[in-house]
Structure 1
Amino acid sequence: MRRTARLLTGTALAAAAAGLVVAAPAYGGEDGDPSGALLLRPVSVAPGDPAAVDTTACGESGTAAGDASAVGAGSFTLTPEDGGTVATGQFRVPPGAQPGTYEIVATCAGNGRRVTGDLVVTLSSAAHVAPRGSVKTGVGGALGPDPVQTAAGVAALAVAAAGGTWLLHRRARGDGI
């Protein structure tokens, strides 16, 4: 029972940690407060990919000047969407950007507030790469390309299961083996 509880707890913690790593937005700003901070989407990009930036730090109908020169993308503008409180902008990470973490800065035009966020540049974007193919373990596949071999394997397993059941039944009756 204890082993099962540990296994389930460990699995749940690993799944939660993996979800946080993959889906966690990059917040910057004052004292780590996510309200009014700079939100980068996606957090991790490959060279040549676009990145979107959002902030509520500038207030209603506020614009901001963004600076992504740390990664080599230069300046960009954040403007409010539909007159709301969220100012949005985007820039493209240059194809020659080196892997690493870069600080992206936005300065509000109205109140002069400065917010920051971290952008992670990787060699390849995980969002664009889907796993394909099989793993070469040396054991072979469960279902081979030949249906005759597959049927023979299933039949051998069925005979072994039936024989084992019959032997256990005889032993339980006391007939001996």
Structure 2
Amino acid sequence: MRRIARPLTGTALAVAVAALAAAPAYGDEGTGRLELSPAGVVPGDEVTVRTAACGAAGTATGDAGAVGAGLFPLAPDGGRFEVPPSAQPGTYEIVATCTYGGRRVTGDLVVTLTGTHTGQPMYPRGSVKTGVGGALGPDPVQTAAGVAALAVAAAGGTWLLHRRARGDGI
């Protein structure tokens, strides 16, 4: 019986040590998460990210690729990224990896289509593509030729209508 008990005890002890070594060691629950402000956004908003998980002077690389924003630097005083205008509604996991130690911390970002945009207002730019040229178009010679053609057509139409009204026929 002793021959079986010792190997089983040794195996159980090894499994327990491995589980403790693999488990994250949190000094306090607040340091193991990313703090996202605001946590609920609309596409186009800017998000501020902070964490104490990397230490007081630690830096990290943030990854907001899940929402389509890519990588961003995370300094001890925080970091920022912009939610792309093409972001779809949903909950996205934002990840940061500490530069020293490789600790990985996460936070959840909720994107909705309703709500208030907290960033700078966006104004439309550019022209509308309608397939019709502008009033003066890119070439003034073509514009002048078009106006001349319309004038000749109007004069010819007026002359024909006047002739018909007199009874001269066409």
> TM-score scaled by structure 2?
0.51
Partner of 1:136: none
- Which structure 2 residue ranges, 5 or more long, are not aligned? 1-23, 119-170
Q: Say whether residues 1:118 and 2:108 are aligned partners.
A: yes
- Would the aligned equivalents of 2:68 and 2:87 in 1 still touch at CA under 8 Å? yes
Distance 1:91 1:125 in 2: 19
Distance 1:64 1:125 in 2: 30
- Would the aligned equivalents of 1:36 and 1:58 in 2 still touch at CA under 8 Å? no
Partner of 1:39: 35
- Would the aligned equivalents of 2:97 and 2:104 in 1 still touch at CA under 8 Å? yes
Give CA deviations for 1:121-151 in whole Å, capped at 9, x if unaligned.
Answer: 00033475xxxxxxxxxxxxxxxxxxxxxxx
CA shift for structure 1 position 80: 1.5
Distance 2:115 2:74 in 1: 24
**SS of alignment partner, residue 65 of structure 1:** strand
- Would the aligned equivalents of 2:44 and 2:84 in 1 still touch at CA under 8 Å? yes
Distance 1:96 1:127 in 2: 14
State the 4+ residue runs in structure 1 displaced beyond 3 angstroms. Answer: 29-32
Partner of 1:93: 83
The amino acid that maps onto 1:73 is: A
> TM-score scaled by structure 1?
0.49
Distance 1:102 1:30, change over 3 A: farther
Distance 1:35 1:76, change over 3 A: same
Provide the alpha-carbon RMSD of the alignment. 2.2
Partner of 1:62: 58
Distance 2:59 2:82 in 1: 19
The amino acid that maps onto 2:83 is: V
Q: Say whether residues 1:103 and 2:103 are aligned partners.
A: no
Distance 1:127 1:67 in 2: 22
- Would the aligned equivalents of 2:44 and 2:117 in 1 still touch at CA under 8 Å? no
